[in-house]
């Protein structure tokens, strides 16, 4: 079986979906507790923690795809996700694999920490 087959892409996609929730929880809790210490409102804590955890989760998942397929073949996997927008590529966008986008998410979440505190007052 070729590593570039649709069945392999489906397996990688399924593993990524299964990894995403535990990774989001793993990376969200530090932000959540810091926001709790400064007294931010609960809904804003969850929102900020989710935004904070996304860049780390996306980096791990992008690394998983790279390890599974190799540096040169991962673009064909991402192309396959683009061709299946209503199934395996449900929330996929080319923006998600951009390092610049992930850094912007991280910076926005850190800026949201004091802003969320001020909103909670």
For residue 74, give every residue at least 6 positions away whose Cβ sits within 8 Å of its Cβ, in sequence order, or none. 65, 66
Query: pLDDT digits over 14-49, tens only?
Result: 999 999 999 999 999 999 999 999 999 999 999 999
Q: Is residue 108 part of a domain?
A: yes
pLDDT band of residue 1 (cuts 50, 70, 90) is low
The predicted pLDDT at position 108 comes to: 96
- pLDDT for position 12: 93
Look at residue 81 and tell me if it is in a domain. yes
Q: Does residue 112 belong to any structural domain of this protein?
A: yes
User: Where in the sequence is the domain holding 15, given as residue range(s)?
Assistant: 6-120
Q: For residue 1, tell me if it sits in a domain.
A: no
* Locus of tokens 């795809």: 65
The full length of the chain comes to: 121
pLDDT averaged over every residue in the chain: 91
Closest listed residue to residue 65, CA positions, set 87, 80, 86, 85: 80
Query: In this structure, is residue 37 part of a structural domain?
Result: yes
Would you say residue 24 lies in a domain?
yes
Measure the CA–CA gap between 79 and 1, rounded to whole angstroms: 20
- Number of structural domains (the chain) is 1
Q: What b/e readout covers 52-62, taking b as 16+ CB neighbours within 10 angstroms?
A: bbbbbbbbebb
Question: What pLDDT sits at residue 36?
Answer: 95
Q: Please state, as a whole number, how many other Cβ atoms lie within 10 Å of the Cβ of residue 66.
A: 15
- For 54-113, the pLDDT digits (tens) are 999 999 999 999 998 988 889 899 999 999 888 888 888 888 889 999 999 999 999 999
Q: How far apart are the first and last CA of the chain?
A: 59
């Amino acid at each position: 079986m070729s590593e570039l087959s649709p069945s392999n892409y489906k397996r990688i996609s399924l593993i990524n979906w299964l990894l995403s929730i535990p990774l989001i929880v793993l990376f969200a809790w530090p932000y959540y507790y810091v926001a709790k210490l400064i007294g931010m409102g609960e809904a804003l804590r969850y929102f900020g923690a989710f935004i904070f955890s996304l860049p780390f989760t996306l980096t791990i998942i992008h690394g998983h795809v790279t390890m599974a397929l190799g540096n040169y073949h991962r673009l064909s996997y991402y192309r396959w996700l683009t061709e299946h927008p209503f199934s395996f590529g449900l929330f996929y966008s080319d923006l998600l694999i951009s390092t610049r986008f992930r850094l912007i998410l991280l910076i926005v979440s850190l800026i949201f920490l004091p802003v969320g505190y001020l909103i909670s007052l």
